[in-house]
Amino acid sequence: MVDDVTLHNAWHPVVRAQDIKEGLLTPIRLLGEDLVLWRSKDEIIACLDLCPHRGASLSLGQVEDNTLVCPYHGLAFDNKGECVKIPAHPNLPPPKRACVQTYLTQERYGLVWITLGNPTQDIPTFFAWDEPNFSSVFCGPYHFKSSGCRVVENFLDVAHFPFVHEQVLGSRLHPVVNDYEVDFEADGITLRNVMVWQPNPDGTEQAGSSVYHYRVLRPLTACFSKNTQSGCLTIFFTVTPVEEEECIAWMLLAMNYSSDIPEAEQRAFQDRIVTQDIPIVESQRPKRLPLDLQAEFHLPCDRASVAYRKWLKQLGVTFGTI
């Protein structure tokens, strides 16, 4: 079990809800633990992918009569993880130890969220997802061979736009990042007035400066809003910590203008951006995010990164950090 209490008790997205098919088992990995998901009537069950009898992977089994059946000896477990059938001894009451560890699940924003512990906070809110004036698009998943904290830090960093996303989100001719505001709050970090020059900030082909406002909502979840002449674009970005140096990113995009742009086109644009980010982030050493501020040097434009690292250290986040 991971010893990071903060992430252990947090909610994490693990898979799109539409991919959990009735009668099928879906193995996933979260915080270094192997889990298996399955549908029991109208709810999604998450349990440890380990039979308590002889340690076989339950994800190799099957769903029968609304129970999860182990592939090794056919023991059947209900939606509470309790053993309800032992084929070799049909008249034997299952031992109390014959239980599979189950975990709380929720469905939100088209994703299945899991917590391995006892959450003190709910899944973070994405204000635009159900707003009638906004059209929403789901993007991802994006796989990174790196720490989830490195990936979130990259999401907060605009100084790389002119170089990694040249002529898309920035230009080397306009690399300057002006000073911006950083506020620590009880439930996260706010970055205000983060200004960056962009060749086509709102799809109108008119180059100019864009102003971003970021919120870090959870250790592995952040969002930004960008207001342009056309309207508001907002992105909710959340990361699944698979291993300390492996993660999956999910992106929910919403905007209240250009509703005629096909979803496939919007998704392809975000795919292009993240595909540019992946090799850079994966090249960073160490792969785990250093929380010691002396481990790397910082520039004025790194105020967001410095704040994020300080906040993670205050929260006691250790998974994916050093």
223, 298: one domain: yes
Mean pLDDT on 255-273: 90
Mean pLDDT on 29-52: 95
Q: Taking 80 as the threshold, does the pLDDT of residue 178 lie above it?
A: yes
Domain CATH number, residue 80: 2.102.10.10
Look at residue 256 and give its three-state secondary structure.
coil
Q: Taking 60 as the threshold, does the pLDDT of residue 1 lie above it?
A: no
Does residue 124 belong to any structural domain of this protein? Answer: no
Does residue 128 belong to any structural domain of this protein? Answer: no
Domain CATH number, residue 184: 3.90.380.10
User: What torsion do the CA atoms of 104, 107, 112, 113 make, to the nearest 10 degrees?
Assistant: -50
17, 161: one domain: no
Domain coverage including residue 150: 135-315
Question: According to DSSP H, which parts of the chain are helical?
Answer: 5-8, 148-156, 161-164, 263-283, 303-315
Total tally of structural domains belonging to the chain: 2
279, 167: one domain: yes
227, 144: one domain: yes
207, 268: one domain: yes
309, 230: one domain: yes
Does residue 154 belong to any structural domain of this protein? Answer: yes
pTM: 0.94
Does residue 71 belong to any structural domain of this protein? Answer: yes
* pLDDT band (50, 70, 90) for residue 2: low
163, 224: one domain: yes
Worst-scoring range by mean pLDDT, 34-48, 50-64, 192-206?
Answer: 192-206
198, 247: one domain: yes
Does residue 129 belong to any structural domain of this protein? Answer: no
Q: What is the pLDDT of residue 202?
A: 62
Does residue 198 belong to any structural domain of this protein? Answer: yes
85, 175: one domain: no
Q: Taking 60 as the threshold, does the pLDDT of residue 224 lie above it?
A: yes
Residue 160 has a CB neighbour count (10 Å cut-off) of: 17
Tally: H helices and E strands in the chain: 5, 17
Q: Taking 70 as the threshold, does the pLDDT of residue 304 lie above it?
A: yes
Tens of pLDDT, residues 180-213: 999 998 789 999 999 999 997 666 677 888 899 9
Tens of pLDDT, residues 245-258: 999 999 999 999 87
177, 53: one domain: no
**Sign of the alpha-carbon dihedral angle for 152, 153, 159, 164:** negative
Q: Taking 70 as the threshold, does the pLDDT of residue 278 lie above it?
A: yes
Q: Classify residue 48 as exposed, middle or buried by CB count within 10 Å of its CB (0-12, 13-18, 19+).
A: middle
Which of 83, 115, 147 finishes a domain?
Answer: 115
Which of 115, 147, 174 finishes a domain?
Answer: 115
Q: What is the pLDDT of residue 204?
A: 63
Alpha-carbon span 268 to 270, nearest angstrom? 6
Tens of pLDDT, residues 132-151: 999 999 999 999 999 999 99
Q: What is the pLDDT of residue 67?
A: 96
185, 227: one domain: yes
Does residue 121 belong to any structural domain of this protein? Answer: no
Tens of pLDDT, residues 80-128: 999 999 999 999 999 989 999 999 999 999 999 999 999 999 999 999 9
Q: What is the pLDDT of residue 185?
A: 85
197, 63: one domain: no
Q: Please give the backbone phi and psi of residue 78, each rounded to the nearest 5 degrees, phi first.
A: -85, -170
Which of 115, 150, 181 finishes a domain?
Answer: 115
Does residue 216 belong to any structural domain of this protein? Answer: yes
